[in-house]
Amino acid sequence: MPGLSETEQAGCTKILNLMSKGDLLSLCDTVTGKMIVVEDETEAIKTVLSFTQNAEEFLKRKKVYRELIFKYLAKEGVSMPPNSEKHQLVKRALELWSPGKEMVGRSPPTASDITELKAKEDFDPQVLGQHFCQWFYKLLNSQNPSLGQQPQEWGPQHFWPDVKLNLLVRGSSEQMEEFLGAEMVSLRLQALTKEEQLLLCPNLEPRGLKVLASPHGLVRVAVAGTIHRSSTCLGIFEQVFGLIRPPLQDNNWKIKVMHMKIKVQDALEGTEIAAPALTYNSTDLQLLCS
């Protein structure tokens, strides 16, 4: 039988780790025809993988719920509309695992990857913006305990000491918060995912991402996306970053300023919330990060 590639095995394993123990053992019984008795979850995962002929077969299993695939894709930095049907999520996961495909959301960079983005002569701000957003939201979402994963290294080291965050939340009322300093900004952002258990899914398509680079070294990155808690979409967000490289650290970018708008679902008045587009234009970005 064909079996799974290394990439497919890694992806299937991450999805299996999101399953409850009962569902995992039930799936193991199904794929083996109850011919093999396993003693723990680790053995069950190995058994399911060894008895799986291909990735599509695995993803279409009844116990591999659409919510599991949606959560897996979000953890990998792949934004999908919250109302996506299972067959759409299956197709996206298979695309993510297919060899030789370069696309947004595939193999998002780690923290070390983003700090190694070189300032080359052919520097492309749009590429930097995409890589930065993949890195930032994967790192921030990893702090969410509901994902059941080991949190990545989050902290004030990713920000300039005098970083400023303006946070505007619109719902039945409007609330504006302002935070100054790397420690305070870091803690407030972390609270969104760690305490409030939100999941931020950026839209990295052209209509959801805009990047401007100034001749003075400031790169402005603006992105729109959806906000979720578990499998429920709560609303949309827009976030603008001002990025600057520290002197003598050409391969490292830190956040200098941030503006974030959150619009909760009650305030959307029936507007389509899938893959939102940016409302900021170039002039707005220049004014926000001046």
Banded model confidence at residue 266, pLDDT cuts 50, 70, 90: low
Would the pTM of this model clear 0.85, i.e. be above it? no
Average pLDDT, the chain: 83
Q: How many residues does the chain have?
A: 290
Phi and psi torsions of 72, nearest 5° = -60, -50
Q: Where in the chain is the domain with CATH 3.10.450.50?
A: 115-288
Q: Which pLDDT belongs to residue 120?
A: 40
Pick the CATH number of 115-288 from 3.30.2350.10, 3.10.450.50, 3.40.50.620, 3.40.190.10: 3.10.450.50
State pLDDT tens for residues 48-65: 999 998 999 999 999 999
Q: How far apart are the first and last CA of the chain?
A: 59
Contact 219, 213 (CB under 8 A): yes
